[in-house]
Amino acid sequence: MECRTALEHSRALKGKEYSSVELTRALLEHSQSCADLNAFITLTSEQALKQASHADRLIAKGEGGPLTGIPLVHKDLFCTKDVRTTCGSRILDNFISPYDATLVERLQQAGMVMLGKANMDEFAMGSSTENSYYGPTRNPWNHERVPGGSSGGSAAVVAARLAPVATGTDTGGSIRQPAALCGLSGIKPSYGRVSRYGMVAFASSLDQGGIMALTSEDCAYVLQAMSGFDEKDSTSINQPVPDYANSLSDSIAGKAVGLPKEFFTDGVDEEVAEAIRESISVLEGLGARMVEIDLPNSAAGIPCYYVLAPAEASSNLARFDGVRYGHRTFEYTDIIEMYEATRSEGFGPEVKRRLLIGAYVLSIGYFEAYYVKAQKLRRLIADDFSRAFEKCDVIVGPTTPTTAFPIGLKTDDPVQMYLNDVFTNSANLAGLPAMSIPAGFDRQGLPIGLHLIGKYLDETTILNVAHQYQLNTDWHQRIPEGYA
């Protein structure tokens, strides 16, 4: 029962094969037995069973939609009313949100059942979920490996079949990278497609909420429910949301697939490169047409991102000072000492590193040299994509240059850690939709991800291409040993 996709569960619930309460209880018990993954920060068992009971009543009356009664887990960056929202940080360890994020509210209205809150890199700053105050999450495919980050807890939850769906956030690859390392489908929609209200900000011009699931089909249904304009979010786009599921079965014959030479470099592990080449062959077999394209400024995505994101973070995280909410130091003589001690105790090393970088690039004498130049470079990266999409409908390549690496391997080398997002962060800089889907395994049995980037507000095409690929491959059906 636990190993089904969200839509398979939906059909079983409507067919009275089992109830949402039975499914929810089984998944909660499964989650407790898998505590060694450290994928959860909070389990909301009592609330989940109440929501499941309500869903069963709707189903019994023939009401509700395709997601009614389906369990999910939220990344602990989304505010959840009367439930702890920690952002993986000591400074918010005991923060209880007084309201729901819009994304949380919409999925609850769709009838989904919240099992709990997933572990994550502190304030979404990281690529491995090793920066959490609550300790690292482990990859279900190999417990000595990272699950990716910052949404690594969400990825581990779905990969281990502790829930069929989990939300995540993506600032530079934090949905797609863990989806790739854990063998999942994960989509980051266009900037503005999903409301950011109630999603604790890291870098406001880059952050976007999204979803991880077992299939692109599940992603389509859940993304449909969470998307749409929100007047409470000034960055929300007032555009109609397409019926993503309606286009999944469309043929991709004749679709132009862009292959950027910059994504097929010597820095990509040979086993990853071979899996991507085989995936391209599958798409060609479905009638897609391969087109060579150039993204000449994509290599500058990492330095551009690591100027802009820390700059925005230094502003967004200024609110965590011990005055209004969250952790406050116990011993201080004046308010300045209280600020300093609270933030020193409350933030971890990676958050402090990025806040210092952000303050530096925004300071007098360096603003023009770093921040302004990075903004100009961001425009060049976006322009590269605009030109590329004149030739193609979707861009593909590897999601990550390697498979999941050992826990602790890169914690002392931040630059090597940052390079894990070399293929993903340019989509955030340009505000484009992108997703990762399973595309094979290396010799150590670790998953490999295929990366798809679409035109702005065209999630439909990448979901369609991903679904057609998954109809002709079985990588997404593989389950880590011990979790079937």
- Which tokens is 167 given? 């939300």
137 vs 119: CA distance, rounded Å: 7
Q: Cβ(306)–Cβ(418) under 8 Å? A: yes
Q: How many CB atoms lie within 10 A of CB 292?
A: 10
- The residue range of the domain holding 446 is 6-257+390-477
Task: Tell me, yes or no, if 234 is annotated catalytic.
Answer: no
pLDDT of residue 315 exceeding 90: yes
Task: Tell me, yes or no, if 150 is annotated catalytic.
Answer: yes
* Pair (403, 369) in one structural domain: no
Q: What is the percent of the chain with per-residue pLDDT over 90, rounded to a whole number?
A: 95
The confidence score (pLDDT) of residue 3 equals 85
- Which tokens is 13 given? 């619930």
**Any domain includes 267:** no
The confidence score (pLDDT) of residue 414 equals 86
196 vs 193: CA distance, rounded Å: 9
Q: How sure is the predictor about 484, in pLDDT bands with cuts at 50, 70 and 90?
A: confident
Task: Report CA torsion sign: 221, 30, 119, 319.
Answer: positive
CB within 8 Å of 61: residues ≥ 6 apart: none
CB within 8 Å of 42: residues ≥ 6 apart: 76, 83, 84, 86, 116, 117
pLDDT one-digit tens code per residue, 366-381: 999 999 999 999 999 9
* Pair (142, 250) in one structural domain: yes
Query: What are all long-range contacts of 29-36, with beta carbons under 8 Å and residues at least 24 apart?
Result: 30/2, 30/161, 30/162, 31/115, 31/116, 31/157, 31/162, 31/163, 34/160, 34/162, 34/483, 36/138, 36/143
* Pair (345, 458) in one structural domain: no
- Within 13 A of 393's CA, how many CA atoms are on the CB side? 17
pLDDT one-digit tens code per residue, 49-77: 999 999 999 999 999 999 999 999 999 99
- Domain of 155: which CATH number? 3.90.1300.10
pLDDT of residue 1 exceeding 70: no
- Within 13 A of 413's CA, how many CA atoms are on the CB side? 8
- Which tokens is 253 given? 């014959």
- The reply to whether omega before 150 is within 30° of 0 (cis) is yes
* Pair (399, 310) in one structural domain: no
41 vs 28: CA distance, rounded Å: 13
**What is the rounded average pLDDT of the residues 75-82?**
98
Q: Where are the beta strands (DSSP E) in 304-386?
A: none
pLDDT one-digit tens code per residue, 257-268: 999 999 988 789
**Any domain includes 21:** yes
The confidence score (pLDDT) of residue 39 equals 98
279 vs 402: CA distance, rounded Å: 16
Q: How sure is the predictor about 122, in pLDDT bands with cuts at 50, 70 and 90?
A: very high
pLDDT one-digit tens code per residue, 175-197: 999 999 999 999 999 999 999 99
Name the domain boundary from 346, 377, 408.
377
Amino acid at 302: I
- Which tokens is 429 given? 């800089």
291 vs 391: CA distance, rounded Å: 7
- Of the residues 19, 20, 75, 128, only one is catalytic, namely 75
**What is the rounded average pLDDT of the residues 131-140?**
98
Task: Tell me, yes or no, if 45 is annotated catalytic.
Answer: no
**What is the rounded average pLDDT of the residues 121-149?**
98
pLDDT of residue 105 exceeding 80: yes
Name the domain boundary from 354, 377, 400.
377
195 vs 211: CA distance, rounded Å: 13
* Pair (190, 86) in one structural domain: yes
- Of the residues 31, 97, 132, 150, only one is catalytic, namely 150
**Any domain includes 282:** no
* Pair (422, 456) in one structural domain: yes
Mean pLDDT of the chain: 96
pLDDT of residue 253 exceeding 70: yes
In the sheet where 394-398 sits, what is the strand order?
Answer: 40-43, 113-118, 71-75, 165-170, 208-213, 185-188, 434-441, 447-454, 394-398, 256-260, 289-293
- Of the residues 19, 132, 174, 227, only one is catalytic, namely 174
**What is the rounded average pLDDT of the residues 318-332?**
92
**What is the rounded average pLDDT of the residues 21-33?**
97
* Pair (198, 309) in one structural domain: no
* Pair (249, 109) in one structural domain: yes
What's the total number of domains in the chain? Answer: 2
Q: Cβ(279)–Cβ(324) under 8 Å? A: no
**Any domain includes 384:** no
Crossing angle between the packed helical segments 270-285 and 459-471, to the nearest 10 degrees: 90
* Pair (11, 157) in one structural domain: yes
20 vs 160: CA distance, rounded Å: 19
pLDDT of residue 412 exceeding 90: no
The confidence score (pLDDT) of residue 265 equals 81
Q: Cβ(20)–Cβ(13) under 8 Å? A: yes
**Any domain includes 178:** yes
Distances 482 to 45, 149, 159, 478 between C-alpha atoms, Å: 23, 23, 11, 12
Name the domain boundary from 377, 408, 428.
377
pLDDT one-digit tens code per residue, 224-243: 999 999 999 999 999 999 99
**Any domain includes 315:** yes
pLDDT one-digit tens code per residue, 332-374: 999 999 999 999 999 999 999 999 999 999 999 899 999 999 9
* Pair (229, 177) in one structural domain: yes
The confidence score (pLDDT) of residue 73 equals 98
The confidence score (pLDDT) of residue 415 equals 83
* Pair (227, 323) in one structural domain: no
* Pair (91, 172) in one structural domain: yes
**Any domain includes 443:** yes
**Any domain includes 483:** no
